Amino acid sequence: MRALRAVCLTMAVLGVAAAPSLAVAEAVVVRNLTVTDGTVSGDLVNTSPRLVRDVRLLIRHTWLWTSEQSPGEESPGRAAYSTVREDIPPGGSRSFTARANPPLPVRSDGRFETSVEVVGFTEIGD
């Protein structure tokens, strides 16, 4: 395991004043993202030369009000973490699916915009 990369990612997740390098941020990327009724699916692609596992995702369900000038009192937006435990070999990919729990409410006064971000992983190598 490469301790430096793991420390940089942990520091970034915890908000410590140390940014991971661009190469680390691009080591695992999300592709082919689809969202249906709060269920998020996609592929994690390992662009690094080492095996990765325990990819930690931050899934944000941002609520966008139909009328931003007079929004409601409480936004139903939320965020959650999900971990993909499978190994991803160098250059390989793994599919993932994560469901909102509890399910996202069905409402007519706005819509959800969902995003997925890789916020950490374990890299195995020399």
Tell me the two tokens of residue 84: 């993909």
Position 21 pLDDT exceeds 80: no
Share of the chain above pLDDT 70, in %: 79
What is the CATH code for 28-119? 2.60.40
* Amino acid letter, 9: L
- Of 35, 30, 43, the C-alpha closest to 95 is 43
Q: What band does 16 get if pLDDT is binned at 50, 70 and 90? A: very low
Tell me the two tokens of residue 8: 């940089």
Q: Are 50 and 29 in contact (CB under 8 A)?
A: no
Q: What band does 72 get if pLDDT is binned at 50, 70 and 90? A: confident
As a whole number of angstroms, the distance between CA 120 and CA 83 comes to: 9
- Of 9, 31, 84, the C-alpha closest to 1 is 9
| Neighbour tally for 19: CB within 10 Å | 11
Tell me the two tokens of residue 33: 């993202």
Position 64 pLDDT exceeds 70: yes
Q: Is 38 helix (H, G, I), strand (E, B) or coil?
A: coil
How is the chain split into domains, by residue range? 28-119
With tokens 């420390």, the residue in question is 7
Average the pLDDT over each of 38-42, 59-63, 72-76, 84-88 and give the range with the smallest value: 72-76
What pLDDT shows up at residue 25? Answer: 61
What pLDDT shows up at residue 65? Answer: 94
What pLDDT shows up at residue 126? Answer: 66
Q: What band does 26 get if pLDDT is binned at 50, 70 and 90? A: confident
The 10s digit of each residue's pLDDT in 77-126 is 999 999 999 999 999 999 999 999 999 999 999 999 999 999 999 998 76
